Structure 1
Amino acid sequence: MNTITKEISQAIARLREAAPLVHNITNYVTVNDCANALLAIGASPIMADDPAESGDITAISSALVLNIGTLNRHTIDSMIAAGKRANECGVPVVFDPVGAGASRLRNDTVKEILELVKIAVLRGNISEVSFVAGLDATTKGVDASAADGRRDAVSVAGLVAEKLGCTVAITGAVDVISDGKRVVKIHNGHPMLSKVTGTGCMTTALVGAYAGANRDAFVAAAAGVASMGIAGEIAYKKAGQVGTGSFHIAILDELSQLDFAVMEARLKLDEA
C-alpha cells in the first residue's frame, strides 16, 4: 500500500473519532441527503442559513460547506458572513460552485465568494471548475457539458489550485484531486451515481466532514470523493438492480459501514 492510499484510508478513522460538527449552507433540494450522508460517515451536521446566526454557528463548527445549488440573496449573505467568520476562526471552508457559468447570478456569486472568502477545497465538475479557472465553460444546467469533458482535468485542477491556493477536486468518470503540487486520480464509483439527485452535494458534504477532522485538505478531499465512489460501487452491487430509489438508500447504508479496511481494500487511485 502506497503512502497516499494509507493516508486516505486512515482519514476515516480520524473522522469517526473526532465526530466533527459540519455547518452546511447548501442546496435545499439535497439538504436532507447531505445531513444523512454526514451522519452516516460519522460527522454531525448543522444547517443554519440565516445571516443572523450563520457566523456564530460557523465559529463552533469544525468545517463549513458552502453550496450554491439553490441561490437567493438571503443565502448568499449567509454564505459570505459564515465564510468570513470561518476564516477568522481557522475553520476550513469547502466550496461547491454548482452550475457556475449557467447564469449571471451564479457567476457573480462565485466571484464574490472567492474574493471575500479563503477556501480550503473547491469541489465541482469539469465545467464548474473550468469557469472558476477563467476558461470558456459551457455548462449544461448543473451538469458538466460534453465539450468541457474533453478538457484535461489535471491541468484545469492544477490551474485553479495555484490560482486560489487551495485543493481542487474535479469529480467525473475519473476524479482528479490536486493542490497544485500533488495530484491523484480516483477510479472508484459507478455511472448510476449520476441518476440520483444529490450525490455531488453529498460528496462535497463528505469532503467537509473529512476536512473537519484532518488537517491536510488534499487528503480530506481525496477521502471524501473516494468515500462516495466506494459506497456507490458497493451500493450498486447490493441494490442497483432494484432501481434508483433502492440504490439511493443503499449509498447511505454503505457510507455508514465504511472503515479503514474497506477503504484500503477498495480504493483505486493513480498518483499523477
Structure 2
Amino acid sequence: MTHLLEKMRVNNPLVHNMTNQVVANDVANGLLAMGASPVMAYAVEEVANIASISKALVLNIGTLTSAGVEAMMVAGIAANKADVPVVLDPVGVGASSYRQEKVREILAAVKVTLIRGNSGEIANLAEVEWQAKGVDAGQGKVSVSEMANKVAQRFNCIVAVSGEVDYITNGRESAEIRNGVSLMAQVTGMGCLLSGICGAFIACANKTEVIEAVITAHAAYGIVGEKAKQQSNGPGSFRVHFMDGLANLTVPQYQQHKKINRWEGVVK
C-alpha cells in the first residue's frame, strides 16, 4: 500500500492528537515530517469541533487526567458521529487501577478503529497474566497473537502490538513486521509517535484498506529506524536522524526494505 505514503504527502491529512505532555512536540514534528498536518487540541470546549473536521483522532493516555479523559470521550464520540477513525494508545494502562478504569470508560463510550500498544498494554486489555512495570512491555506466557486476537474480537477493531517483531491483526487476517531496531526503545515517545503515524496512514485509506494502512505505517516506521541507526551514535543523534528519515522516506526505499509477513487468520 505504498500509494498511501504518496497520498499523505499530497493531501496532508489533518490528524487530531490528544497525546501526552512528554511527547507532544515530537508527535507534531514527526507527523509534519511524514507529510500529515497535526493539531493538538485538548480543551473540552473545542475537541468535538476539531475531531469532527479531522481525518483521524489519536487518543493517548500517557499523562492522564480526569479532565483529559472527559475531553477524550467527547472528542471520540464526535469522531464516531463524523465517521472519523479513532486510534487509542493505552500507554501504561497496567500501571494503575485508575488508568485501567479510564481506558475501559473510553472503550465503552468510543468505537475505536485501532488499539496500538506494547505487549504489556495489550495483555492488560486482554486480561491475561503479564509481568510489566509502568510503560514497559514486560513479559508473560500467553502468545502475543492470542492476546491481540482477544482484544481485537472484544472491541471489534484492529490491534497492533509493537515490539522486536510488530504483530497486527483484526481477528481475521494478521501480519508480522520485522523492520525496526532496539535503539527505538531508548527514545521516549517512539510508540506515541507511531500511533500518530498510524492515524495519518489510516486517514489516507478507504475502509477496505485500514489494516493495510496500519501494516504500512509500522513497516515504514521500522525502515526509518533502521536507517537512522546507521547514521547515529546513540539515542540523541538517533532521534534527529529519525525525524529526517520520516521526511526523506521514499516509495522505492519502502519497497526495497519492508519485511512483512501476512496470513489469513490469527496464528500462522
TM-score (norm 1): 0.93
Q: Are 1:127 and 2:93 an aligned pair?
A: no
Q: How does 1:35-114 map to 2 (within 5 A)?
A: 35-114=28-107
Distance 1:223 1:184 in 2: 11
**For 1:91 and 1:19, how far apart are their aligned partners in 2?**
16
- 8 Å CA contact 2:219–2:260 kept in 1: the answer is no
For residues 41-68 of structure 1, give each alpha carbon's deviation from its aligned partner in whole angstroms, at most 9, with x where no partner exists.
1000000001000111001100000000
Match of 2:64, SS state, is coil
CA distance in 2, matches of 1:17, 1:181: 31
- Paired residue type of 1:32: N
Match for residue 227 of structure 2 among 231, 234, 238:
234
Gaps of 5+ in 1: 1-6
Q: Partner letter of residue 197 of structure 1?
A: T
- 1:185 aligned counterpart, secondary structure: strand
Partner of 2:184: 193
Correspondence list, 1:1-272, <5 A: 7=1, 9-146=2-139, 148=140, 150-215=141-206, 216-239=209-232, 242-272=233-263
CA–CA separation in structure 1 for the residues paired with 2:234 and 2:43: 37
Moved over 6 A (4+): none
| Whole-Å separation in 2 of the counterparts to 1:140 and 1:74 | 25
Partner of 1:3: none
* Alpha-carbon distance in 1 for matches of 2:91, 2:173: 25
C-alpha distance in 2 between matches for 1:87 and 1:260: 32
* 1:28 counterpart SS class: coil
Structure 2 portions without partners, runs of 5+: 264-268
Provide the C-alpha distance between the structure 2 equivalents of 1:227 and 1:75, rounded to a whole number of angstroms: 30
Number of positions where the alignment pairs a residue of Structure 1 with one of Structure 2: 261
Distance in 2 (alpha carbons) for counterparts of 1:131 and 1:118:
19
**Contact 1:210 1:224 survives alignment (8 Å):** yes
The root-mean-square deviation of aligned C-alpha atoms, in Å, is 1.1
Describe the SS at the equivalent of 1:234: helix
Deviations 1:144-201 (A, max 9, x none): 113x3x4311222122111111111000000001011110100000010011011010
TM-score normalised per structure 2: 0.95
Q: Distance in 1 between matches of 2:172 and 2:11?
A: 28
Letter in 1 for 2:258: L
The SS at the match of 1:101 is helix
1:204/1:224 contact within 8 Å kept? no
d(CA) in 2 for partners of 1:49 and 1:137? 32
